[in-house]
Amino acid sequence: MSGIGISLTCAFRRPGENKIGWPISANAIALTTLGQPDVSEGFAADSRVSAYTATEGRFRRAPEGLVRCAADEERLCFAGDGAFVGQYLQGADTYHSAPWDDPAATHGSGDAAYFAPRSGGSIAYAGAHSEPDIFGGSGGGVVITQTDADGSFHNANNVKVSGVLEGDVLRHEVIVSIETTEAGKVGPRGHGNSNFSFDFDHDAQGNITGFTENWATYRAGYHDMGIINGKRWWYLWADRLADSTGDTQGIGINYSGTTAGQGRKVHVCEAMIRKNPACAPAAVPVCAASKTFTADTLVSTLSNAGYICEGLAMARSQVPGGAIEAPAVPLGVPYEPLETRIGIATGAEAADRTGLLDNPNLHFYARPWEQPASITLHYGPGYIASRWLVADDINDRVGDATIAPVFQARRDLAPVLGKHATSGAYVTGALTLDGCVFLALGDTVSTYWRQTDIRTFGNSTSFLLAAGTALNARGCLVMGETVHTTRARSEAQADESDEQRVYVGEFLPFIENAGSIDLSGSRFERLARMSMEARDRNTAVALNLDDTCYSLMWSDPIYWSRGTFANVQASRRFHGSMTFHPGMSIWQSRKQIEVDTGSGFVPFDASGLTLADLPHGHEAQLVGMWDFDTDTFTAAPDPAKTCRIRYYAPGSGIGTSRPGYEWNAQQVDMGGYSRHQQTGDVYEIDTGTLKARFTFDRGRYSAGNVWNVDTNPALTSTGTHGDNDQVNRFFVTINGMVADDVVMLNHGQGPFHTGTSSLAADGSSITGIVTDRFVAVLADVSNAYRFDHSLLAGSVETLQNSLLVQAYSDYRFEGGDGIAMNIGAAGANNTLQLGANVWSATAHPTGLSDSGGGTTTGTLNRIGLPRAQGFSGYTTPGASDGVLTDLLDPADIHASGQAEPVTDPWTFAFADGAAAKLGFDPNATLALARGNHAAWDDVIAGLAAVYHRKPDHLAEIAPGAAVGSVVATGVAASAFHARYGGNGEGYFALDGGQVTVAKPLTGVDRIFVLRGDNDETIMVDVA
C-alpha cells in the first residue's frame, strides 16, 4: 500500500508527523544532534554512511564566521550561539576567484587578488585594514572606500574564465558588506567578452533592497546572509550569456547611485566567476584561483533507490554506486546549501534524473531564459503551490516545455502541482506534463454552486494549460478542492461527504494553433469539470481521451468548450460517481426569512446577519403553515417532512433577485419519494445556535418587488446538473470519434452531443461518432444519449453493442410522475443509427424520443421498467424484450422494480448471465474501462485526508500586513512540512506555535494553504 498523505510509518516522517508521508523501507539519513554545541560528526555518524569525501578548501559556517575545511572534513555548520544547524553539501563545479581572505597574498597587477584602481575609490586589501570580515577575524577581504560623489568600479583583471564560446552562461558572484549613510547601488561587473555592470539597490543602512530586472539579458538574485562577525553580509549574483567566441571573461565590483557618496565602504570578501555553472548560486565563498571541487559525497551501500535532500530542495532518482551527493542543478535552490535530512526512496528507476522541490528560488529554475527551443524541468515529491512553469512574458518564452517527475516508477512520489495558468503565446510548441499530480488549492472564487460559476478560458481557471501546438498530460492525476479552501467557504454544506459535495476546479487544455491534446491514461478526481478548447476552429486538433477516468466529479466530466476536433480517440473511459445535488430549486417568497439567535424570530434584514451567516445544507423540518391572505401562522409540526436548504442566491434565469426572500432547496423527503414544497409550508432549521424559518411560496419577483403568483417554484433545476459528456452548443466541431468500452455509473446525463436549435453559423457541428460497447446505469436523468441540432446536414452518430439502464430516483415532477429515461435525436440534420445489440432498461414506453425532424434508425431492444406515477404509485411495464434480472443481480434491483443507483462504481458488476442476453459482455467493458486507475486510490485518499477537510486554522489578512504580524496562534506543528508545506515562496514563518508574516505581501491577492509537519493545515486568505 502506498500513497501521498496516507497513514503509514515511513522514513520521510519527522517526529510528530502523524504517520503521514511515503512508505520507505530504509530510514532517512538525518542529523540527530541539531541545536547542540560541540558536535563533531554529521551525516557520517549514520551507520549506513561508510565514508565522507570532499575536496580540501570548502568553507563551512562556524560560530565566528566562514572557515575552510580540510580534505574529507564534514562541513558542519553552527549558528552564532554555537548551536549545530546542519551540514553544507555542494555539488561538483569549477570556480575562478582569488585568495581575497589571505593577508599573506600579494596584490600586484599580475596577481589574482587584485582590483585595478580607478579614480573614485581607494582599495585596502587583506592585511591592509582592520575591518571585521566574514571569515571570523579582521583584515580579510578587500575594503573599497568611495572617494567621490559618482562612485566607480574596479575589475579583478586576473580573475577570469577562458575558452569562452558564444552563448556560454557566465555567472558573476560577489559577497559584500556595505557601510553607508545614504542609499545607492552596488553589484558585480563583467569585463572582457561581455562588458556590463549589474546594479543592486541598497538603502541608507547598507541593506540590499532589490534590483531592476532585465530578464531579456540577465538572470540575477541576492541573499541576506545575516550578521556574521558583527556585520551584515550580502551575496549578489548575475548571469549573462557570452557575446562571442574565443575570449575571456572577468569579474569586477561596481558601486554608484549616490549623491554625495564620499566615505561609503564596500567590503568585498568574495568576487568570482563561473562558466556554464553546474551548481546553483550559493552564498559560500571560495577565495581560491581556478578551484575545482568534487561533489561532497556520502558513501553508502544503498542501491535501487533514490534520495530527497529536503534542505537543498533537490531530489535524485538513483544512488549511483551508493554515492549520495548534492545533485548538480545550475540554479533554483536555496542560497545556503544546508542539509539536515535526506530521505531514501526505494525502488529501481530506469534513468538517473535530478530535480527540485519547492523553495524560494524555484522560479529561477522554472523560468525559461533567452527563449530556448525547449526546456525540461524535473520535480521531486512535494507540493508546488504555483510557479512550476513561469512563462508568461515575451522575455521568458519557450518552444517546447516538459514538466516531469524525478521518480517515475512510483505514483506516490510524483510532484503535486498547484493551480496555474500557462499561455500559448509564450509556450509556443508542446507542453508535456506526463505523470504529474495536479491539486487545485486556494481558489479565490467567492461563490461556487451554479454551473455558471465554473470558469472557462481565463487566468482564474484552476488549470488553464495552454500551449502553441500540443498539450500532453498522459498518466496524470488531476484533483480539485472543496469550498473550505476557497473564498466560497461559507457555502460548505452541513451534510457534505465525499460523494455529495461541491468540488471546485477546472482542468482546461487549450491549443493556440493546429496541434494535439493527449490526456490518455489520466484520472480526473473530485473536480468540477474537464474541458478541451482550441482557438482556431478552422484547423482540426487531434484529441486522445483513451483510458481516462472521471470519479467524484461535481458537474461535467467532459465538456467540449471550443474548437475543431477530428478523428478523436475516446475509448475505455470510466465515468464513476458524480457529486452534484439533483432536483434543487430556487424559491422566492412574499415572506422574508426569519432568524432567531436567542431572542425570538425577527426578519432577516433586522437580524444584523449576512447571507453567509445562514445555515447551508442543514435539514429543515416542517413546523407549520402560513396563510398569506390573513398573515397568520398555524403551528403543525411534522418531523417526518424534511428538506435541505442549501443556498441563498439566485440561480441562472431569475430576473429579479431579492436577498432574504429567496433560497435554494431540494424537494421534501416524503419517505420513499420526494416532492416540491407547497405554498405556505413553513420549514425551520435549528443548528443549536441559530434558528431560521422559511415560508415557501409559489411564484417569483419581477420588475423590482412585483410579485407574480405561479403554481411552480421560482425556478427548478438550479445549481448544476451533471453531464458526463457535453458539447457546447456553439463553437465546436467534431469530425469523427471512436468511443469503445465506455462506462457511466452515476446520476449525470449520458452523452449530450448537441448544437443549437437555431442552426446559427457559430453553432456546433457533430458527426462521425461511433460508440461501441457503451454501458451506463444512470439515475435522476431523462437523457441517456442525445444527438441534437448539428449544424452540418447529414450528421450521423452510431451506437452499437450498448446497454443503458435507468436507476431509481426519489424525484417527482409536479404531477407526481417520475423520470423516464430515453435516447434519441433532434433536428433535421441529425440521424442516430442504432447498430446491433443496443439495449435500454427504461420506464419510457418506447425508450426513444426524437423531435424536430431528428431520426433514430435501427432497433432498440427495450426492457420495460415501472414508472413512478401519482407520487407513490408505479405503472405496469408494457411489452418488453426481457426482464431486469437478465441484467442485474437481485441485490441491485430497487423495490420499485427499477435498478438501484450504483453506490460503488469500482465494485459494481452485472449479472453473470448478462452477456448471453445482450450479445456482448458488459462486465468485460467494465474491466477495460476501469483499467489501472485504482492504482491512484491511496494517493487520492492521502491528499483528500489532508486538503479536502476544513482547515485547522483560518486567517484573513490584508496585503499590507507588516512583516512579523501574527497570522495564527495555537499551532501544534513545530515547522511547515518539509515538502508539502505550501510555503515554498517563504511568505510565512512558523515558530513557537505562531505563524507570522515573513516577507512583504504587497500586491498579493491569494489564498495560501499551509501544511505543518503534523499535517495541521493553516489557511491564510490575503485580500
* pLDDT at residue 352 greater than cutoff 80: yes
Same domain (yes/no): 265, 380: no
- Give, in degrees to the nearest 5, the angle at Cα 652 between 650 and 656: 50
Q: Is residue 333 part of a domain?
A: no
Instruction: Please identify which residue in the block is written with the cell numbers 491534446.
Output: 517
Out of 275, 306, 324, a domain closes at 275
Q: Is residue 821 part of a domain?
A: yes
Average of per-residue pLDDT across 467-473: 97
β-pair type (540-544, 699-702): unpaired
| Structural Rg of the chain based on CA atoms | 34
Amino acid at 485: T
Average of per-residue pLDDT across 583-589: 95
Q: Is residue 348 part of a domain?
A: no
Average of per-residue pLDDT across 696-701: 96
Which three cell numbers mark 157? 583583471
CB 670 within 8 A of CB 643: no
Same domain (yes/no): 594, 541: no
CB 146 within 8 A of CB 262: yes
Predicted confidence (pLDDT) per residue in 375-404, tens digit: 999 999 999 999 999 999 999 999 999 999
Q: Which residues on neighbouring strands pair with residue 769, listed in sequence order?
A: 737, 797
* pLDDT at residue 456 greater than cutoff 90: no
Average of per-residue pLDDT across 262-280: 96
Whole-angstrom CA distances from 849 to 623, 781, 884 are 42, 14, 22
pLDDT of residue 25: 37
Distance CA 14, CA 35 (A): 16
Residues 6+ apart with CB under 8 A from 212: 199
Same domain (yes/no): 782, 810: yes
**What's the DSSP call for residue 576?**
-
* pLDDT at residue 636 greater than cutoff 70: yes
Nearest Cα neighbor of 335 from 300, 305, 356, 361 is: 361
- The three-state (H, E, C) secondary structure of 199-221, written as one string: CEEECCCCCEEECCCCCCCEEEE
Same domain (yes/no): 513, 591: no
Predicted confidence (pLDDT) per residue in 22-32, tens digit: 443 347 999 99
Same domain (yes/no): 616, 574: no
Q: Is residue 879 part of a domain?
A: no
Distance CA 451, CA 748 (A): 13
Predicted confidence (pLDDT) per residue in 196-251, tens digit: 999 999 999 999 999 999 999 999 999 999 999 999 999 999 999 999 998 999 99
Q: Which residues on neighbouring strands pair with residue 507, listed in sequence order?
A: 463, 530
CB 94 within 8 A of CB 288: no
Looking at residue 958, which CATH number applies to its domain? Answer: 2.60.40.60
Same domain (yes/no): 590, 505: no
Q: Is residue 955 part of a domain?
A: yes
Domains: count for the chain: 5
Domain span at residue 74? 59-98+113-275
How many CB atoms sit inside 10 A of residue 22's CB?
Answer: 25
pTM above 0.85, yes or no: yes
* pLDDT at residue 15 greater than cutoff 70: no
Average of per-residue pLDDT across 568-587: 96
pLDDT of residue 9: 23
* pLDDT at residue 3 greater than cutoff 60: no
pLDDT of residue 875: 95
Same domain (yes/no): 558, 623: no
Distance CA 574, CA 929 (A): 5
Task: Please report the DSSP string for 156-186 in residue order.
Answer: EEEEEEEEE-TT-EEEEEEEEEEE-SS-EEE
Average of per-residue pLDDT across 434-443: 98
pLDDT of residue 23: 40
Which three cell numbers mark 346? 526505494
- Give, in degrees to the nearest 5, the angle at Cα 962 between 956 and 965: 60
pLDDT of residue 149: 86
Predicted confidence (pLDDT) per residue in 519-540, tens digit: 999 999 999 999 999 988 888 9
* pLDDT at residue 21 greater than cutoff 50: no
* pLDDT at residue 879 greater than cutoff 80: yes
Same domain (yes/no): 545, 462: yes
Predicted confidence (pLDDT) per residue in 853-870, tens digit: 999 999 999 999 999 999
* pLDDT at residue 175 greater than cutoff 70: yes
Predicted confidence (pLDDT) per residue in 962-1012, tens digit: 999 999 999 999 999 999 999 999 999 999 999 999 999 999 999 999 999
Same domain (yes/no): 83, 126: yes
Nearest Cα neighbor of 493 from 685, 659, 674, 641 is: 685
Out of 259, 275, 291, a domain closes at 275
Counting residues of the chain whose pLDDT is more than 90, the rounded percentage is 93
* pLDDT at residue 585 greater than cutoff 70: yes
Q: Is residue 749 part of a domain?
A: yes
Which three cell numbers mark 788? 441534437
pLDDT of residue 5: 26
pLDDT of residue 26: 45
Cα-to-chain-centroid distance, residue 134:
42
pLDDT of residue 704: 80
Task: Please report the DSSP string for 724-760 in residue order.
Answer: EEEE-SBSEEEEEEEEEEEEEEESSEEEEEE--TT--
* pLDDT at residue 16 greater than cutoff 70: no
Q: Is residue 724 part of a domain?
A: no
Whole-angstrom CA distances from 20 to 747, 751, 823 are 34, 40, 48
The helices-and-strands tally (H runs, E runs) of the chain is: 4, 81
* pLDDT at residue 10 greater than cutoff 50: no
Same domain (yes/no): 389, 535: yes
Looking at residue 140, which CATH number applies to its domain? Answer: 2.60.120.260
Amino acid at 467: A
pLDDT of residue 150: 85
pLDDT of residue 878: 82
pLDDT of residue 6: 23
Out of 527, 550, 578, a domain closes at 578
Same domain (yes/no): 424, 567: yes
Same domain (yes/no): 257, 123: yes
Q: Is residue 7 part of a domain?
A: no
pLDDT of residue 120: 86
Q: What is the mean pLDDT of the chain?
A: 94
Report phi then psi at 522, rounded to 5: -95, 155
How many CB atoms sit inside 10 A of residue 118's CB?
Answer: 11
pLDDT of residue 216: 96
Amino acid at 131: E
